[in-house]
A and B are shown apart, each in its own frame.
Chain A
Amino acid sequence: MATKIDRRSFLKVLGLGGAGAALAGCDMPSYATMEEGEEQVFSYLAPEEYVVPGIGVWYASTCLQCSAGCGVHGRVREGRALKLEGNPDTAVNKGKLCQMGQAALQTHYNPDRITSPRIGGKNVTWPEALAFIKEKVTGAPVWMTGSISGHQAVLLDAHLNASGGGAHYAVETINAQAWQAACADTLGDAQPNLHIDKALCVLSFGADVLGTWVSPVKFMADYGKFRAAPRGVLTVVEPAMTLSGANADHWVAARPGSEAAVALGVAQVLASEYSVSTSALPSGAADAIVAMTPERVNALSGVDAKTLSKIAETLMSNSPSLVIGDGSYETAAAAMILNLMLGNVGATITPSAELVPADLGVRSGSTKALADFAADAQAGRIGTAFITGTNPAFTAPGGLKIEDALSKIGLKVAVAMFEDETTQLCDVVLPLASSLEDWGSHVPATGAGRGEIHVQQPLMEKLHPEVLGLGDILLGLTQDAGADGLEDFEDYYGYLRTAISAMIGADFEPEWQAVLQAGKVQAPTADRSFTANGALNFNVPETKAPPAGRLSLITTARQGLFDGRHANLPWLQEAPDQISKAVWDSWAEIHPTTAAGLGLKDGDYVTITSDSGAITTRVFLYKGVHPDAIAVPMGRGHTHYGRYATGIGVNPLNLLDGTADGRTGEFLNTTSVRVQATGDNRHLVRLMDVDQQYGRKLAATISADQLRRNQGGA
C-alpha cells in the first residue's frame, strides 16, 4: 500500500470487508458521517442578554391574514421566525389561530416576494422611485386599501389631507356591510357585540360565522362554549353549505338571494302561531312580515312551511337566541327584526364600546368603495392612486371593467408584497414588508376586548433589505407632502412608540417593553347605548326558479384561500377544502338532481358563462347546495400571482355582473349563468374519494336527547 494505513481506515476496511459496499453513496457506518471542519459556526458579536442559541424566544405581534386582527405569539430561534401561535392575552382569539394565521409564515418567507422598487418592471432604488412618483403626481392622490385601522390609518388620513384631500377607498370582498347597515338602522350601533356563548339557539342567514364572517376565531371559541352543556342549537339557512352550515344541527337550503324571504317567513310564523307582537318593530317591518305568507316563502326560496315552523319552534323553545343575517341588506334587516321580536337585543346583542381615539377606529372595507373608485376613475376624477392590501384587478366583478377604469388614472402606485394582477397594471411597485417584519397597531374587527388595540412588532430582521413597512412609506410620503408635526420622526417605529406612549401616559422603556410583551394596549372607551330609530325600507327580491339551462352562480368564501389573497401559500393550496376536500384546483358544487338534469357526473368539466365572463371547471356533486344554485368558491384562478397560484383553478368573481344591493351598494354575490357540459372528465383531486363510512364507526353521531339524558356524562 503506498499510503500509510492509519488505524481509522483499517477499522473502516475491516467493517466494510465483510458486507461489501453496496451502491454508490451508501450510508457508511457511523464513523464516516462524522465531519470535522466541514461546517462553520459564526459566534455572536455582542448578543442580547436573553438571546441564547438553541432556545426559542416568543414575541407577541398581530396576524394580518384577514381583518379580524388576532393577537399572535411568534417563536423565534437564531433570528428566524419558526412558528406562530395565538396570543393567550388578546381577548379576540385567546391563544387560538385559524389555518390562515398559521400560514402567515409562508406569506413572510414566500419565494415570490417583491424585493425592490420597480418602475415598469425594472428594478430601481428607493430614491429613484420616490423621485419618479413626486414628478409624475397629478392632482390629489387617493388611497385604495383593505380594511385598515390603528396608527397606519391615522397616517394615511394625514397623507391624504396633506396632499390635497384625496379620497380613501377601503375595499374588502368578504365583508359584513349589510349587517352593519341593518344594525345601524335598527340599533344605532353598526357593530354590536354578539354573544354566541350566551345564546341557546343561533340562527344564521348566509353569515358563515365559523368560517369567514367578521372574526371567525372568536366566534369559534364562543361556539365551543355554545356547544357545552346546556347545548345550544345551530340553524343555518344558506344557498350553499359553508363551514357554519356543515356544523349546523339543521341546515336549510334556500334559493340564492331568498334568505330575507325565509327570515320574514319565520317572523310571520312567530307572529301568527306564537303570537309574538310585532308592534315594537320599526315601521315598514310589520306589513313586510304580514305579506310574507308561507306559500310566498316557498315560491321565492323553495323552503316549505314545515321547515319554517321547525325553525320557529326551535327559536321559541331555546331562548335567548341570536339571529344573524348577511349577504344583502334585506336579509340583515329581517334577521334584526327577528332579534327585536324575540327580545335578543340586550341579552345576546349588547352595545359595543366606542373607541375614544376615534381616528384609530377600523375603516372597514366594502365592495361599494371599489364601485365608487371605478366610477371616479372612469370620470377622470383620479389623477394618482396608491393601492395596497387589496387586489382589485382580481376581486372586481367582471361587470365593473376595472382594467380600463385603472387605465384612466395618470399614476398608479402599488405598495405590495407580491406581483399580482393589480401590480401588473401599475406604473410603480413599492416592496412592502410582511406582517412578521413590520411595526403597526390594529383594532380587532369585533370589540371583544373593549378597546384593546393589538400591537404588531417585527419577529425578525427584514428578509429583503429593500422592503419598507406601510407605516414607514406613509410617514415618508406625508413628510414629503409637508405635513406639520411629523418632521422629527425618522421612522414609523418612532412615531408609533410616541403615539402609544402618549396613549398609556408613560414614555419609559419598561412600560413600552410591557406593551410589546402583552402585544396589546388598552385604549380608553366610552359606553354606547342602542337608539331605536325610524323606518326600514324593504324590497324583498323576487327570486324565482331560474329558466331551463340556467342556474344562479354563488361565489362562496372559504377560510383558507379567503378572497384569493392566500392563493400563493402552498400550505393553504394543499389544505383540503373544508367541505369538498379538494386541493390545488377549483370546482363547482352542484346538487345531484340538478347534475342529473344536465347529464353531469362527478368530475365532468362544465363551462359556466354569464354576460360578463366564462369559466370552465369540474363539478363536485353533493346535497349541500340548493338545486337551483351552482357554487364556485373564490380564491383561485389567478393569472399572475407567483408560482403557487398562477394558472391554478378559476376565478368566479369575474362572472359577477356587479349588481349592487340597494341600501349598502355592496355587490351581490349571485348572478344568473348558463351551464354546459364540455364532455371531458378528469378525477377531481381530493383528500378522500369516499364520503361514506361504509358501516364503520368512524365519525359517530348521537342525538341531542341522548346527550341531555346523560348530561352528567357530557
Chain B
Amino acid sequence: MPSLLGNIFKGWADYSKGNEEGGHHDYEHMYALAIDLDLCTGCNACSTACYAENNLATVGEDKFGARQAMHWLRVERYFDEPDMDKIEETNDTDTQSRGASFLPMMCQHCNAAPCEPVCPVGATYHTVDGLNAQVYNRCIGSRYCANNCPFRVRYFNFYDNADSWPAPMDQQLNPDLSVRSKGVMEKCSMCLQRTRAARDTAKREGRELQDGDIQTACQQTCPTSAIMFGDLLDETSAISKIWKRHQVKLGVYKQDKENPELRGYRIFEELNVDTKVLYLERVREV
C-alpha cells in the first residue's frame, strides 16, 4: 500500500509546491534556444535535419493540404515588416525590395506552458531540465494541449503514418526515440535523445555536462549557425551570454531593457507563457 498511496502523497508535496511558487520546480538545467533571424537565410536545412533525426512522417500532398503534416520545425516566410522603425517608404511598393523575413518556429518549451495543465493524463509536463516533455505512451489524444498552444507547434498523428517508411526506408529510423502511432500528439523535444546521450557520456566520464556537449540537430546543420542551444542555468554558457547581452529574462511577460533597441525578443511574451526561444530581430538597410 505505501508504494502506491505514498506516491500520491509524495506527489502531492511536489504538486502543491508547484502551485505555491507559480510553477517553480527545482530545475537541474534550463535548456533554451537563441535564433538570430538576421543570419537565418530560410534555407530549410534545419527542418529537413529534424525530419531525419526525429523519425517525422511525410504525409503527402492531400494530408499536407488538410494541415495534418508533422513538421516539428517549420520555417515560416513573411513578406511584411510590421514595425520596421517608422521608415517613410511603406511596404506597398510594387516590388519586394527588402526580400522576405524567415522565422524558424518550433515548440518554445514555455516555462508556464498552457499545454501542461490541460492534459487529462499528464502526458505533457515540465521536466527538471526545463523542457516541455511529451510522453508518447501516456498520451490518449484528447488534443486539448494543441488547442491551447498559442504557437500551434503541436502536431497530432491523425493517421498511422507507417506508409511513410516503405522498406528499406524504415532502416533509417532513429532507434533512440519511438515512432509514434496514430492518436498520439508529438512536438519538438529539443532532441531529447541527444540530451540523454550527452548526459550518459558525461556520467560515464564522471564529469558535469558542459556547454556544447549537446547540439540539437537543427543547430548542428544550420549553415549560418543562426541557431544556438544551451543551458541558461550555466552562467558561462554561450546561450546565457546572448540572453544577458539582449537583456531578456525568464519569468516576466514584459522585458524592461535599459537599451530597448537591443534585438532580442520573445514571441507572444504578453501571453505570460514564458517561452524559452530568444529571437534576434532581422536587420535590413533602410
Interface residues in chain A, defined as those with a beta carbon under 8 Å from any beta carbon in chain B = 77-78, 80-86, 93, 95-99, 101-103, 105-106, 109-111, 210-211, 216-217, 220-221, 223-224, 227, 231, 233, 241, 243, 245-253, 314, 463, 559-560, 570-576, 578-579, 581, 583-585, 591, 593, 622-624, 627, 648, 683, 685, 687-688, 691-693, 695-707, 709-710, 713-714
| 12 examples of A-B residue contacts, CB within 8 angstroms | A84-B52, A221-B224, A224-B225, A224-B226, A227-B224, A241-B96, A574-B51, A623-B96, A624-B96, A701-B281, A702-B84, A710-B261
Q: Are the C-beta atoms of A698 and B78 separated by less than 8 Å?
A: yes
Q: Which residue of B lies closest to A689 (CB)?
A: B67
Q: How far is the CB of B277 from chain A (nearest CB, A)?
A: 12
A96-B222, A99-B45, A246-B77 given. 5 additional CB < 8 A pairs?
A84-B52, A224-B226, A250-B97, A559-B43, A623-B94
In the bound complex, how far is the Cα of B75 from the Cα of A627, in angstroms? 27
Check A211–B43 contact: CB distance below 8 A.
yes
* With A250-B97, A687-B71 as contacts: A105 and B172 at CB distance below 8 Å: yes
Chain B 56-97 interface residues, beta-carbon cutoff 8 Å to A: 58-61, 64-65, 69, 71, 74-85, 87, 93-97
Complex interface: chain B residues within 8 A of A217 (CB)? 223
B217 contacts A by Cβ under 8 Å: yes
Q: CB < 8 Å: which of B47, B79, B101 contacts A99?
A: B47
Q: Which of A216, A571, A579 contacts B52 (CB 8 A)?
A: A571
Task: With CB as the reference atom, state the residue of chain B lying closest to A109.
Answer: B169
Whether B246 is near chain A, meaning CB under 8 Å from some CB there, is yes
**A102 to B222 CA separation, bound complex (whole angstroms):** 11
B41 within 8 A of A: yes
Instruction: State whether B44 touches A576 (Cβ < 8 A).
Output: yes
Given contacts A246-B102, A248-B99, A622-B96, contact A700 B78 (CB under 8 A): no
* Proximity bits, B269-286, A CB within 8 Å = 1, else 0: 000000000010111111
The answer to whether B224 touches A224 (Cβ under 8 A) is yes
B282 and A700 contact, CB distance less than 8 A:
yes
Docked CA distance A572–B51 (Å): 10
Contact B221 A97 (CB under 8 A): yes
**Residue of A at shortest CB range from B220?**
A85
Determine whether B8 belongs to the interface, using a CB cutoff of 8 Å to chain A: no
Q: How far is the CA of A98 from the CA of B85 in the complex (A)?
A: 33
Which B residues, 153 to 170, have Cβ-Cβ distances below 8 Å to chain A? 164, 166-169
A627 to B85, CA, bound (A): 29
Q: How many residues of B contact A (CB 8 A)?
A: 80
Task: Determine whether B3 belongs to the interface, using a CB cutoff of 8 Å to chain A.
Answer: no
Establish whether residues A693 and B74, one from each chain, have CB atoms under 8 Å apart when the complex forms: no
If A111-B168, A691-B80 touch, whether A624 touches B58 (CB-CB below 8 Å) is no
Contact of A691 with B42 at beta-carbon distance under 8 Å, contacts A95-B220, A249-B98 already known: no
**A575 adjacent to B44 (CB under 8 Å):** yes
Contact B98–A699 (Cβ < 8 Å): no
Across-interface contacts of A573 in B (CB, < 8 A):
58
**A224:B223 contact, CB within 8 angstroms:** yes
Closest chain A CB from B259 CB (angstroms): 6
Residues in B lying within 8 Å of A, measured CB to CB: 37-39, 41-45, 47-49, 51-53, 58-61, 64-65, 69, 71, 74-85, 87, 93-103, 164, 166-169, 171-175, 217, 220-226, 245-246, 259, 261-263, 265, 267-268, 279, 281-286
Is the CB–CB distance between B97 and A96 below 8 Å? no
Q: Cβ of B76: which chain A residues have Cβ within 8 Å of it?
A: 581, 687-688, 698-699
B261 interface neighbour in A93, A106, A702, Cβ under 8 Å: A702
Q: Check if B220 sits within 8 Å of A623, measured CB to CB.
A: no
Of B64, B96, B286, most A-chain CB atoms within 10 Å = B96
Kindly list chain B residues whose C-beta atoms are within 8 Å of the C-beta of A249.
Answer: 98-99, 284-285
B83 pairs with A697, CB closer than 8 A: yes
B53 smallest CB distance to A (angstroms): 6
C-alpha spacing A80/B285, complex, angstroms: 48
> Which of A247, A623, A627, A699 has its CB near the most chain B CB atoms (within 10 A)?
A699
B199 to chain A, nearest CB (A): 15
Contact partners of A584 in chain B: CB under 8 A: 60-61, 64
Given A105-B52, A622-B79, verify A574-B172 contact (CB < 8 Å): no
Knowing A692-B80, A701-B81, A707-B263, say if A685 contacts B61 (CB, 8 Å). Answer: yes
- Using Cβ atoms and an 8 Å threshold, which residues of chain A touch B41? 210, 220, 223, 243, 246-247
Cβ–Cβ contact A246 & B100, under 8 A: yes
Q: How far is the CB of A26 from chain B (nearest CB, A)?
A: 12
Contact of B44 among A86, A99, A109 (CB under 8 A): A99
Interfacial chain B residues near A98, Cβ < 8 Å: 43, 45, 223
Residues of chain B with a CB closer than 8 A to A697's CB: 82-83, 265, 267
Chain B residue numbers with a CB within 8 Å of A713 are 245-246, 259, 261-263
A97 to B58 CA separation, bound complex (whole angstroms)? 21
A253 to chain B, nearest CB (A): 5
Are A111 and B169 also in contact (CB < 8 A) when A243-B41, A698-B76 are? yes
- A701 in contact with B101 given A223-B224, A693-B82, A710-B261 (CB within 8 Å): yes
Question: Which residues of chain B are within 8 angstroms of A109 by Cβ–Cβ distance?
Answer: 168-169, 171-172
For the complex of A and B, the 8 pairs showing the least CB-CB separation, nearest first, are A220-B223, A584-B61, A224-B224, A99-B48, A685-B65, A699-B101, A249-B285, A570-B58
Closest A residue to B282 by CB, please name it.
A701
- Contact partners of B286 in chain A: CB under 8 A: 703-705
Report the Cα distance A247→B101, complex, angstroms.
Answer: 8
CA distance A502 to B64 in the complex (A): 53
Contacting residue for A578 out of B43, B49, B84, CB 8 A: B43
B77, A578: Cβ atoms under 8 Å?
A: yes
Q: A396–B167 Cα gap in the complex (Å)? A: 33
Closest CB in chain B relative to A373 CB, distance in Å: 33
B114 to chain A, nearest CB (A): 17
Q: Could you tell me the distance in whole angstroms from the C-beta of A595 to the nearest C-beta in chain B?
A: 13
Are B172 and A80 neighbours in the complex by a CB distance under 8 Å?
A: yes
> In the complex the two chains form, what is the Cα distance from A251 to B99 in whole Å?
6
Residues A578 and B95 in contact in the complex (CB < 8 Å), given A83-B52, A97-B221: no
Q: Which of A93, A243, A247, A559 has the most CB of B within 10 A?
A: A247
* Complexed CA–CA distance, A36 and B78 (Å): 54
Give the shortest distance, in Å, between B100 (CB) and chain A (any CB): 4
Please, how many angstroms separate the alpha-carbon atoms of A499 and B279 in the complex? Answer: 50
- Nearest residue (CB) in B for A570 is B58
**Complex formed: what's the CA distance from A572 to B101 in Å?**
21
Task: Please indicate the chain B residues that have their CB under 8 angstroms from the CB of A216 in the complex.
Answer: 43, 223
Q: How far is the CB of A221 from chain B (nearest CB, A)?
A: 6
The complex places the Cα of A319 from the Cα of B252 at a distance, in Å, of 43
Inter-chain contact A96/B64, CB cutoff 8 Å: no
- When distances are taken between beta carbons in the complex, the residues of chain B under 8 Å from A560 are 44
If the complex has contacts A80-B172, A99-B43, are A700 and B80 also in contact, measured as CB distance less than 8 A?
Answer: no
- Cβ distance B152 to chain A, nearest Cβ, rounded Å: 10
Smallest CB-CB separation from B74: which chain A residue?
Answer: A687
Asked if B49 and A699 make an inter-chain contact with CB atoms under 8 angstroms apart, the answer reads no
